[in-house]
A and B are shown apart, each in its own frame.
Chain A
Amino acid sequence: MKNPPALYLEADNVSPDAFAGKTASQIAELHVYEGNTTSTLGTYFEVNGNAGATAADTKIIVKGDVKKVKYLGFKMSAGELVVEGSTDLYAGGWMTGGTMLVKGNAEAFAATGMKGGELVIEGNAGNYLGAAYRGDWRGMSGGKILVKGNCGSDLGMYMLGGEIVINGNIDVHVMTHAEGGRTIIKGNAKSKVGGQLVDGTIIIFGTLEVMMPGYKYVDDVELEVLGTKATFAHFIGDTGERHKKKKGQIIYGNLYKKI
């Protein structure tokens, strides 16, 4: 990034798929959008190096301040994308493959409608991480997401498959309406966790401020999660839902309870 935008930049062309088979100068000609004006990647970024022949053998490293850049890694299907700083909305949105690494924070709607691949956010993630687009009942169906920091609200809404791991704490609403997949919260959760959950798994190592009334205690179980063996209290829910399928399960660590 050489010239930061006055407003925000939509760089949905910054993905291995869009770069594949292009030279540095061709890449610099790809379109980016600031508000209702269209310009080229080269206007804002200095582009070095050529892309590989296919997305799979293309690696992109985004340097500089891209806090105001949206749609990085949009719909990427293969290859590698590294963002050295923090980025804005829709990081890895609708991605189907490849790996994306954000070394700073990612704002809301990261990995929306993700189908596959891997997204790692070393800082904090915003709201609606790995959630479905508005109105769609088909949310994240595959792939892996790892957030090393904290995460906002509405994690994995309408999730169908795949795995999300949050090392830090999580805001309200986790896997609302989900019908599959697994989220692991290593830190603490607030409330509204697993509301309207039909199927899928939520694992909380930390505390849970308020449990949804639709969850009922079953028993304590020994589990090994990500290499950690521990005893977990096993709840099932959301019992308010009309489950035509098997009940979803919410499991959270009871370590803190013991103290």
Chain B
Amino acid sequence: MSEYVIKNGHVFDPVQGIKGDKSDVCIKDGKIVAKAGSGAKVIDAQGKTVMAGAVEVHAHIAGPKVNLGRIYRPEDKLFTCTPTRGMERMGGGNSIPTTFKTGYEYAKMGYTTAMEAAMPPLFSRHVHEEIRDTPIIDEGAFPVFGNNWFVMEYLKNREIENTAAYCAWLLRATKGFAIKVVNPGGTEAWAWGLNCLSVNDPVPYFDITPAEIVKGLIEANEYLGLPHSMHIHPNNLGNPGNYTTTLDTLKIAEGFKAKNTFGREQVMHLTHTQFHSYGGDNWGNFESKAKEVMNYVNAHKNLTVDTGNVTLDETTTMTADGPFEHHLTELNHLKWANCDVELETCAGIVPYIYSPSISVCAIQWAIGLELALMAKDPMRCFITTDHPNAGPFTRYPRVIKWLMSAKARETQINAFKHKDKVLSQTSIGTQDREISLYELAQMTRAGPAKSLGLMNICGGLKPGMDADIAVYNFNPDTPVANPEDIEKAFTRAAVVFKSGVEVVRDGEIVSNGHKRTLWVNAKVKENPQVMRDINEKFLKYYSITQANYEALGHHFVPNPYALEVDATQA
């Protein structure tokens, strides 16, 4: 592999505490090194911003529901499909881009690692086929556990060790990365058309509560010592007044401490917090509770969150929270897709238009920004749009603009039809904080990498780490004349390296890289009982055989990268 040195750029690297000083970044054999050889190719970053490649902590970019979204929304692609260009395959799709476009768009914005946030285990082969066809970026996928029959049956009897053994088996069988929980219990209830709206609603038949599922999975996660923590989308998403449910969920983590060898400190990651920070009791008096939620998060070091910023676009909502999507289609009457998955989970899809002329949408927009602006520790609050739910990931540069410029926020607030409502129901008007480039690097690089247990691999520019680097046409020395320049700079990076390979130059794709599939291989003690249980469930209740469930050959994961976890001594 060739050597490079990126010269004279303004480097922002929370891992090494570098805050914009001019320094060189050297690359050798795919890694960052202290010094490059004399033959190294020089890249001039004079007057530019240099950061590690960004890390996406939560997006829906590969798998059955994403693809069903593509299948059932041809109008999302009408007149916008892109042709083959040099390295680039054809692409298409605004809110749900094709796999190729997904990889290219992330790379062009300087993202080099992304996590698919919800993998239905039964469909893992599909998820991995799409990951394989998503160029450049490293990807991992979170299998969902929160409504899994095994998990609920073990946790009903508080069998943490068995739960952990099952989780380890499923992570291996599906090449999964972390334990994801979506509307714990509520999605199983949805199989009967019901839901669990609080952490204490009993799950039909299984005689267990969401709180018990969440607590048990935190314990199982720390028993195994996985790289990432239990990653949760709590009950009662999207409803006025749901912030109490959110706080109840967060409180479950109290007293737990992270136990792992990956440098992770949190035991719970709360995702798309915006959707869970609502006050009021109807859409009329709907208001922000960002302060209440963020105050709690700021005060508890064992939590991380991501924002789920609304970008005010037409998009396609998709989640394993089946009952919510049914609720949504009843509200907006747009086409509804749903798929219940035997013994495991469910998924729903509904298109949604976040219109600036609808007060609720404008308030949601404000809440997402409030959360980030109220975060005391940028290493624990990450920027997402919960792609595509609050908006497409391609809008990150716009979100960054709103966060870095109070002026940009003001312009948007003035453009809202119900400006007064936005100002009365949220505190966005009083937020004058402007996120710095260093904080941005924390919120999009070092923070998510640490939360995912990848802090030694990516998210920073320390020698020894993977050479994932983004150079932006943004000069921190000169004041921002026009906020649009921020959006422009972060939309198309000047140069992007993935594992030491130059993949983007002047905003264009120059290489398809060597993308890897990240997964977690957790070893546990022999557990005959769990193996028997698995065997029995396949014989009696699954619709495919165990042998065909586990199969994951080379054509699914051609370039795996396994994080090894040894829990045999636990």
**Complex contact flag A–B (Cβ < 8 Å):** yes
Asked if A135 CB lies within 8 Å of chain B CBs, one says yes
Contact A135 B333 (CB under 8 A): no
B526 at the interface (CB under 8 A from A): no
Check if A136 is an interface residue, CB within 8 A of chain B: yes
B78 within 8 A of A: yes
Give the A interface residue count (CB, 8 A).
6
Does residue B542 face the partner (Cβ distance < 8 Å to A)?
A: no
Closest Cβ of chain A to B19, distance in Å, is 48
Q: By the criterion CB–CB under 8 Å, are B335 and A137 in contact?
A: yes
- Structural contact, B74 and A135, CB atoms closer than 8 A: yes
Whether A136 and B333, one on each chain, are in contact in the complex, defined by CB atoms closer than 8 angstroms, is: no
Beta-carbon contact of A133 and B78 below 8 Å:
yes
| Distance, CA A31 to CA B74, complexed state (A) | 26
Q: Which residue of A lies closest to B75 (CB)?
A: A136
**Whole-angstrom distance between the alpha carbons of A134 and B77 in the complex?**
11
User: Could you say which residues of chain A place their CB within 8 Å of the CB of B334?
Assistant: 137
Quick one: closest B residue to A245, CB to CB? B333
Looking at chain B's contact residues, is the secondary structure mostly helix, strand, loop, or mixed?
Answer: loop
Q: B126 near A: Cβ within 8 Å?
A: no
B73 contacts A by Cβ under 8 Å: yes
> Is A244 interfacial (CB-CB < 8 Å)?
yes
Contacts of A133 in B (CB 8 A): 74-75, 78
B72 at the interface (CB under 8 A from A): yes
Q: Is the CB of A134 within 8 A of B333?
A: no
Q: How many A-B residue pairs have CB under 8 A?
A: 17
Please, how many angstroms separate the alpha-carbon atoms of A135 and B316 in the complex? Answer: 13
Complex interface residues of chain A between 124 and 145 (CB less than 8 A to chain B): 133-137
Q: Which residues of B contact A134 (CB under 8 A)?
A: 74-75
Residues of A within 8 A of B76 (CB): 135
Distance in Å from the Cβ of A220 to the closest Cβ of chain B? 33
| Number of residues of chain B lying within 8 A (CB) of chain A | 9
Chain A contacts for B73, CB-based, 8 A: 135
Nearest B residue to A179, CB-CB: B333
Min CB distance, A137 to chain B, in Å?
A: 6
* A134 CB to nearest B CB, Å: 5
Given the complex of chains A and B, what is the CA–CA distance between A135 and B76 in angstroms?
9
Residues of A within 8 A of B333 (CB): 244
Residues of A within 8 A of B335 (CB): 135, 137
How many Å lie between the Cα of A137 and that of B75 in the bound state? 9
The digit string for A178-203, where 1 denotes a CB below 8 A from any CB of B, is 00000000000000000000000000
The chain A residue with its CB closest to the CB of B335 is: A137
In the assembly, what is the distance between CA of A137 and CA of B334, in Å? Answer: 8
The smallest C-beta distance from A54 to any residue of chain B, in angstroms, reads: 23
- What are the residues of chain B within 8 A of A136 when measuring CB–CB? 74-75, 78
Q: How far is the CB of B68 from chain A (nearest CB, A)?
A: 12
Report the Cα distance A133→B75, complex, angstroms.
7
Query: Considering only CB atoms, which chain B residue lies closest to A138 in the complex?
Result: B75
Separation of A133 and B73 alpha carbons in the complex (Å): 11
- In the assembled complex, which residues on chain A have CB atoms less than 8 Å from the CB atom of B74? 133-136
CA distance A240 to B294 in the complex (A): 47
A171 to B75 Cα, complex, angstroms: 26
CB-CB contacts below 8 Å: B58-74 with A: 72-74
Within the assembled complex, what's the spacing in Å between the Cα atoms of A244 and B329?
Answer: 13
Residues of B within 8 A of A135 (CB): 72-76, 335
Residue of B nearest to A137 (CB): B334
B interface footprint on A216-250 (CB within 8 Å = 1, 0 otherwise) = 00000000000000000000000000001000000
B318 to chain A, nearest CB (A): 15
Shortest CB-to-CB span from B523 to chain A, Å, is 47
- Residues from chain A with a CB closer than 8 A to the CB of B72 are 135
Q: Chain B: which residue is nearest A198 at the CB level?
A: B333
Q: A137–B73 Cα gap in the complex (Å)?
A: 10
The residue among A133, A134, A135, A244 with the most chain B CB atoms within 10 A of its own CB is A135
Distance from A154 Cβ to chain B, minimum over Cβ atoms (Å): 16
Q: Shortest Cβ distance from B39 into chain A, in angstroms?
A: 44
What distance in Å separates the Cβ of A202 from its nearest Cβ neighbour in chain B?
21
Question: What is the CB-to-nearest-CB distance from B72 to chain A, in angstroms, rounded to a whole number?
Answer: 7
CB distance from A186 to the nearest CB of B (A): 32
Tell me the smallest distance from the CB of B324 to a CB of chain A, in Å.
Answer: 19
Closest CB-CB distance, A132 to chain B, in whole Å? Answer: 8
Which residues of B are found within 8 Å of A137, using beta-carbon distances?
334-335
Expressed in whole angstroms, the Cα–Cα distance for A134 and B72 within the complex equals 9
Q: CB-defined interface of A97-137 with B at 8 Å, one 1/0 digit per residue?
A: 00000000000000000000000000000000000011111
Q: How far is the CB of B81 from chain A (nearest CB, A)?
A: 13
CA distance A135 to B73 in the complex (A): 6
Chain A residues closer than 8 Å to B75, beta-carbon distance: 133-136
Cα–Cα, bound, A135→B333 (Å): 14
**Cα–Cα, bound, A220→B122 (Å):** 58
Within the complex, the shortest CB–CB distance from B164 to chain A, in Å, comes to 44
Residues 31-80 of B at the A interface (beta carbon under 8 Å): 72-76, 78
Min CB–CB distance A15 → chain B (angstroms)? 15
The residue on B at minimum CB distance from A94 is B79
Chain B residue at minimum C-beta to C-beta distance from A75: B79
Name the interface residues of B65-116: CB closer than 8 Å to any CB of A.
Answer: 72-76, 78
CA distance A134 to B74 in the complex (A): 6
A7 to B280, CA, bound (A): 62
Name 12 A/B residue pairs within 8 A (Cβ), A-sorted.
A133-B75, A133-B78, A134-B75, A135-B73, A135-B74, A135-B335, A136-B74, A136-B75, A136-B78, A137-B334, A137-B335, A244-B333
Which positions in B face A, CB cutoff 8 Å?
72-76, 78, 333-335
Known: A135-B72, A135-B73. 5 other contacts (CB 8 A): A135-B74, A135-B76, A136-B75, A137-B334, A137-B335
> Lowest 6 A-B CB distances belong to which pairs?
A136-B75, A135-B74, A135-B75, A134-B74, A135-B73, A133-B78
